[in-house]
Amino acid sequence: MSFLIPESGWADMSEPLSWAAIFGLMAKQFWPVWVALVVTFVLSFRFKRRLGLYGKLFDSPVAIIGFAIVMFWVFTALFANIIMTFDPLAQLGSVKNPLPGAVVPEGAEGQYKWFLLGGDHLARDVFSRMVMGARQVLIIAPAATTFAFLVGITLGLPAGYIGGRLDTALSFLANLVLAFPVILLFYLLVTPEIRNTGIPVALAAILFLIPIAFFAILFQSRFHTSPTKRNLYVGITLVLGLWAYSGLAFNADPLGVWGMDPNLLNVFVSVVFVNAPTVFRIVRGIVMDIKSRDYVAAGQTRGETGWYIMLWEILPNARGPLIVDYCLRIGYTTILLGTLGFFGLGVTPESPDWGSTINAGRKLLSMVPHPAVVPALALMSLVLGLNLLADGLREESLKD
């Protein structure tokens, strides 16, 4: 890992930095993010009329602000190894909680010379932990939310379209999960005692099969009149899906491509299990409203199968509310992950995720606030960006 050294014109390397120098050097460290943002916005504005709902985002000032904040953190996560000034787990000397701009004691040649945003109680660089924390959050939250949506959509479509006993049974299970307070249920699912019972692995074995079934049914319903294409797409889905399933659910991938350690699996399954019932109820309600539309009746008249109508007629027309809820739910999941880290139930004890970092710094908050305040502001800004993005998406979807 290579670390950038500031040019001599910025500051005297033997003296602490002023706040102006700190912000200047941080801006310099984020140069890959600025470049990526400029390229993204230039291309998006240039081709926005060809980009569907994504392009319409750039007609809404609220959506533009939210998108910019979210993409800032996405690019920060992608380029974290370039942006970081130190290894986020490295202890840089024996001084506890060095202040922002403090000089790194006895830094090895080639290392960065300052704690840009200070250090924590183990003299780990807060700036580097904040940057790497973005990667931790943006790997888990969107992926787990996507799985939750696939589970909720797969179960919500037939519940709303077919109704009857199937709807009653699935709605009862969803309401049973939703009857528990979310934070309490989340807390219980990720405790070591629950993990030792094998319940997370059993839940993963069930929940992780549903996305495979979703894509297999999607291709089957779309290409049922073309057996060659159907067999190809369904076959690829099953091979890749079951390969990933063996590694993610049971850590049994023979090639070692897919896998999750027990702590990560615990957190991931908990997010999916807690969020899927809410998505199920949203999808069910939308389907019950849309299934009486004329284009659904036309599909039934043509003799289309139920799954074709659900996946290719109803679901595309429900995308607006679902995309909005997806953005909001990533924000909720980010807060939940921060809460778990704060309780010491994050991915790993030494993880630089924002919740764990806030928890580590809260005890000395009145004396040295920076170890806790920096990740708290990062968490707040990401959630704010997601909420603004969702508001912009809702605003544009209502214009359709």
Cβ neighbours, 10 Å, residue 68: 15
Cβ distance 152 to 282 under 8 Å? yes
Per-residue pLDDT of the chain (400 residues; tens, 9 = 90+): 434 444 444 444 567 788 899 899 999 999 999 999 999 999 999 988 888 778 888 888 999 999 999 999 999 999 999 999 888 888 877 778 888 888 887 654 457 788 888 888 888 889 999 999 898 888 888 999 999 999 999 999 999 999 899 999 999 999 998 888 777 777 777 777 777 788 888 888 999 999 999 999 999 999 988 999 999 999 999 999 999 999 988 888 888 888 887 778 888 888 898 899 999 999 999 999 998 888 888 888 888 889 999 999 999 888 888 988 998 888 888 888 777 777 766 666 677 888 888 887 887 777 888 888 999 999 999 999 999 998 888 877 766 5
pLDDT at 106: 66
What are the domain boundaries of the chain? Answer: 135-331
How far apart, in whole angstroms, are the C-alpha atoms of residue 186 and residue 143? 17
Contact by Cβ (8 Å): 80, 378: no
Most distant CA atoms of the chain, gap in Å:
80
User: Are 85 and 127 within 8 A, CB to CB?
Assistant: yes
Q: What was the pLDDT predicted at 347?
A: 67
Phi-psi region of 344 (alpha: psi -120 to 50; beta: other; left: phi over 0): left
pLDDT value of position 9: 43
Cα(58)–Cα(67) distance, integer angstroms: 9
Cα distance between residue 340 and residue 3, in whole Å: 31
Sign of CA dihedral 98, 101, 102, 103: positive
pTM attached to this predicted model = 0.85
How many Å apart are CA 354 and CA 345, to the nearest integer?
12
Q: What is the spatial distance between Cα 333 and Cα 341, in angstroms, rounded to a whole number?
A: 12
* Euclidean distance between CA atoms 200 and 190, whole angstroms: 8
104: three-class secondary structure by DSSP: coil
Identify the pLDDT of residue 13.
55
Q: What is the token pair recorded at 112?
A: 């960065």
pLDDT of 4? 42
Do strands 114-115 and 102-103 pair parallel, antiparallel, or not at all (unpaired)? Answer: antiparallel
Give the helix/strand (H/E) hosting 196: helix 192-197
Contacts of 172 (CB under 8 A, 6+ apart): none
Alpha-carbon distance of 382 to 137, in angstroms, equals 10
Q: Encode 367-379: b = buried (16+ Cβ within 10 Å), e = exposed.
A: ebebbbbbbbebb
What does DSSP assign to residue 13?
A: T
Main-chain dihedrals φ then ψ at residue 313, nearest 5 degrees? -115, -50
Amino acid at 376: A
3-state secondary structure (DSSP) of residue 187: helix
The H or E element containing residue 115 is: strand 114-115
**Which of these, 130, 134, 135, 107, lies nearest to 26 by C-alpha position?**
130
Specify the long-range contacts of residues 189-197, CB closer than 8 Å, at least 24 apart: 189/266, 189/269, 189/270, 189/273, 189/274, 190/266, 190/267, 190/270, 190/340, 190/345, 191/345, 194/266, 195/262, 195/263, 195/266
Backbone torsions φ then ψ of 125, nearest 5 degrees: -70, 120
